[in-house]
Amino acid sequence: MASKDCPGSIELLKNSQQAYGSKALLIHMLDSGMIHFQCDDPKEATLFFQNADHLAQDLWTKSFSKEAASFVTNDFILPYRGEDFERAMICLFSAFSYIKLGEFDEAMADCRRLDIILSEYNAQYEKKNVYKEDALGRYISGVLSEADKEFSEAYIFYHDALKAFKNYEEAYGTPTPNYLLEDLLRVSIPADRKSEAMKLVPGERNIGMIDHRTSRTLGKIILVHLNGKAPVKIENKFSVVTATGPISIAFPDYSVNPPACRTSRMILSSPAHSCEVETELFEDINRIAVKDLEDRKFRITAKAIARAVAKQAVVQASSKEMEKHYGAMAGLMANIAGNVAASALERADTRSWRTLPGEIYIARSFVPPGEYQINIELCDGYRKDLNKISVKAGETKFVFCDTMY
């Protein structure tokens, strides 16, 4: 993908399922979906994402026998079921794939499912996760509803996105985008919610809003910019000396490599009209991933400690048996060998969806109907030519690009 070799990347994935292994089938599906998405094969991408969604849900409700087995070895013996945020991203990128296909109803269904699964997962935890609602998914739902002229529904989705961004700002430092505030105010007029919307928009924000009636005479172009790469899981491992010997505990952490450029702009040009608009950060996957893992770190660590104690009990029982039958030296050697083996078996689960972007930016512009050449320019001056788009009055068109590799 770094060398822009889409056919080679797809062929590599086709031939590599065995290399992923049976315990990482979900990751193979996710990588395959993402690569087909980036390589402009959204139909194939939707198939992989839908299958991944079904598999992830099935693994989430897996049998307790396999969960119990991981107590005496490690989580690598379990099929990878994905982090909570990764399972949410399956729905988001499935929605993006349907948008590429022009199937907005299917995209809307995936955005709704995203909200549902986050609620379902979070309801099972005594300590609630910070990532319990997805602001970008709700915003896209608002855009799709507005495109379908369902203004009251669009207002509700924009309103819910605004609530989610308040959580994003507190948890991840992601401010509420101006585009969302503009869209909320614009649809509040046909939705008959203007007075309510005015109270929700901070007075200090400089919101430039196109009138609702004027917007219906223009086309809308939305750029979705995937930037950088998602964080990588690494292992943290330490030993604790106890009265019966040392025990090893391992748990995963994320290593984040933020992209060098974190700003961009969309450039639109046609013979009759041209404009430039800045993108705004809508989804900081890097920070969501780190915080999501932190939220469940207590559960991971508690399981790791319980597993280490169980292994220590097995080692002690074996050592005493050896000492009983073959003497103190044999018992000591059995104890040492058992502790070495237990430490070697203790591994953190460092599997993850490595082909996710690190950040998602959005730019939006209302333009006179016509055909436009679209470019994206990064903070370092690098400019990438995207495709041409024809847009009609009252029509919404999406453009996707990535600077992940």
pLDDT of residue 185: 94
Greater model confidence, 296 or 235: 235
pLDDT of residue 390: 96
Q: Which amino acid is it at 198?
A: M
132-145 pLDDT per residue, tens: 999 999 999 999 99
Determine how β-strand 357-367 pairs with β-strand 219-229: antiparallel
In this structure, what token pair is assigned to residue 24?
């990482």
Least confident of 6-20, 54-68, 336-350, 365-379: 336-350
pLDDT of residue 295: 78
pLDDT of residue 155: 97
Least confident of 54-63, 308-317, 382-391: 308-317
pLDDT of residue 346: 62
Mean pLDDT across the stretch 143-149?
96
pLDDT of residue 318: 60
Cα gap 2→9, rounded to integer Å = 10
- Strand (E) or helix (H) holding 100: helix 84-100
Could you tell me the pLDDT band of residue 241, with boundaries at 50, 70 and 90? low
Is the pLDDT reported for residue 208 higher than 90?
no
Greater model confidence, 156 or 242: 156
Question: For a pLDDT cut of 70, what percent of the chain falls above it?
Answer: 80
pLDDT of residue 372: 97
Determine how β-strand 396-403 pairs with β-strand 219-229: parallel
pLDDT of residue 299: 62
Least confident of 123-137, 145-159, 391-405: 123-137
Is the pLDDT reported for residue 64 higher than 50?
no
Beta carbons within 10 angstroms of residue 297's beta carbon? 14
Please, are residues 188 and 323 in contact by the beta-carbon 8 Å criterion?
A: no
pLDDT of residue 369: 96
When mean pLDDT is compared over 149-153, 248-252, 349-353, the highest value belongs to 149-153
Could you tell me the pLDDT band of residue 240, with boundaries at 50, 70 and 90? low
Q: What is the mean pLDDT of the chain?
A: 86
pLDDT of residue 294: 85
359-401 pLDDT per residue, tens: 999 999 999 999 999 999 999 888 999 989 999 999 999 999 9
Least confident of 4-13, 252-261, 314-323: 314-323
Is the pLDDT reported for residue 124 higher than 90?
no
Length of the chain: 405
- Strand (E) or helix (H) holding 318: helix 297-326
Greater model confidence, 326 or 107: 107
Q: Which amino acid is it at 228?
A: G
User: What letter does residue 353 receive in the DSSP assignment?
Assistant: -
Greater model confidence, 211 or 287: 287
Greater model confidence, 322 or 175: 175
Integer angstrom CA distances of residue 369 from 217, 278, 385, 394? 8, 21, 21, 9
Could you tell me the pLDDT band of residue 345, with boundaries at 50, 70 and 90? low
